[in-house]
């Protein structure tokens, strides 16, 4: 029989990139929602430490201010913390009154901590009494594509959430990779060639701007269309 510490470690295990996202169901400020409600949609599931706190409030205002950009990208937002549903409702009302910002995305009450434990979202620095500042980006096949954690004191960069999601969707569509600091409209990086012959051909191909055989830039408009990146779908 496993020790209690082993059980605790198991419940805190993080989902891994490339794995199916764990199922979740919870009561939210927009009624009961489940992961299945987001079939065929990309979704960003994010946790915040506590309602009525300054950093979390700044994040919700910022997310709502850029909400239309997430919609244009085909991405749903779902917030979560271990606060009660009554607290969520009161907090969102307070945000609307104080900042003239109405939050349009749902906020789950995970008071029993089931979702937080399943996703490894509980913050050790709070003795597991609060959610961490965690982000899970889940694609339209319910696969975890990215995980980002921020410290309690530091608000999230909303532009970066948009950028990394757009980058992954672009890679899915083109089969190419995105370099450091990539943003929409920048050149892409071709995936490394699989054979010596491919490497030689690529160096002579006018569609590529190659620094060497393994580093070749490619205009986004010249990229061939693909529908998924096989690296992420081995499970």
The yes-or-no answer on residue 216 being catalytic is no
Q: 216 has which bridge partners?
A: 210
Question: Which of 43, 44, 56, 75 does the annotation list as catalytic?
Answer: 56
**CA gap 155, 58 in Å, rounded:** 7
- Dist CA 112 CA 225 (whole Å): 44
**Alpha carbon of residue 139 to chain centroid:** 9
Query: Is 166 in contact with 74 (CB distance < 8 Å)?
Result: no
Q: How far is 191 from 61, CA to CA, in rounded Å?
A: 38
Maximum C-alpha span of the chain: 64
Alpha-carbon gap, residue 121 to 115, rounded angstroms: 8
Task: Round to whole Å and give the CA distance between 163 and 143.
Answer: 18
Looking at residue 224, the DSSP 8-state letter turns out to be P
Report how far residue 177's alpha carbon sits from residue 192's, in angstroms, rounded to the nearest whole number.
10
Beta carbons of 60 and 67 less than 8 angstroms apart: no
Q: Where in the sequence numbering do the catalytic residues fall?
A: 56
């Amino acid at each position: 029989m496993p020790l209690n510490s082993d059980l605790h470690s198991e419940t805190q295990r993080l989902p891994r990139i490339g794995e199916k996202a764990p199922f979740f169901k919870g009561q939210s400020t927009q009624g009961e929602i489940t992961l299945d409600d987001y079939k065929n949609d990309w979704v960003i599931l994010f946790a915040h430490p506590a309602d009525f706190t300054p950093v979390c409030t700044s994040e919700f205002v910022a997310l709502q201010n850029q909400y239309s950009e997430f919609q244009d990208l085909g991405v749903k937002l779902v917030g979560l913390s271990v606060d009660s549903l009554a607290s969520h409702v009161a907090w969102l009302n307070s945000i609307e009154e104080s900042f003239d910002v109405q939050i349009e995305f749902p906020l789950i009450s995970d008071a029993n901590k089931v979702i937080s434990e399943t996703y490894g979202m509980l913050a050790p620095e709070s003795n597991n009494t609060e959610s961490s500042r965690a982000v899970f980006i889940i694609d339209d096949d319910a696969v975890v594509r990215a995980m980002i954690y921020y410290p309690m004191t530091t608000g999230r960069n909303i532009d970066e959430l948009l950028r990394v999601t757009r980058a992954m969707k672009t890679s899915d569509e083109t089969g190419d990779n995105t370099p450091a600091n990539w943003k929409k409209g920048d050149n892409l990086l071709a995936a490394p060639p699989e054979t010596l012959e491919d490497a030689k051909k690529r160096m002579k191909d006018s569609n590529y701007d190659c620094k060497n055989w393994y580093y070749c830039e490619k205009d986004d408009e010249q990229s061939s269309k693909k529908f998924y990146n096989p690296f992420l779908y081995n499970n």
